[in-house]
Amino acid sequence: QVQLVESGGGLVQPGGSLRLSCAASGSDFSIYAMGWYRQAPGKQRELVADISSGGSTNYADSVKGRFTISRDNAKNTVYLQMNSLKPEDTAVYYCKAVRKWYVYWGQGTQVTVSS
């Protein structure tokens, strides 16, 4: 069993930055693939970025060049550095952990980009 707790969300002006963190409980964090997803009001949840257990990364086209996903296995934590934020980045951001058929989600953290 893995529990995920996101933090770091908030209100930021367009062009600003935020760093989200997702802390995982339990053992074997390093063998989980981790991802960040987001869901805006009235829209489906979508992949923002993911990182494999080996460190390979993948990004949605809409965030390439602006967001960076990383992981610190010693701290059981995955990060999402978000720069040059836009109003359309406003959403609840969720952390996901996957290993084989096991899938875990965090409770989400709100990110609002507005002037």
Instruction: Report strand pairing: 57-59 vs 33-39.
Output: unpaired
Handedness of CA 62, 109, 82, 16 (dihedral sign): positive
The pLDDT tens digits for 28-39 are 898 999 999 999
The pLDDT tens digits for 76-95 are 999 999 999 999 999 999 99
Instruction: Find out whether 38 and 91 touch, Cβ atoms under 8 Å.
Output: yes
Rounded to an integer, the average pLDDT of 21-27 is: 91
* Cα 84 from chain centre: 16
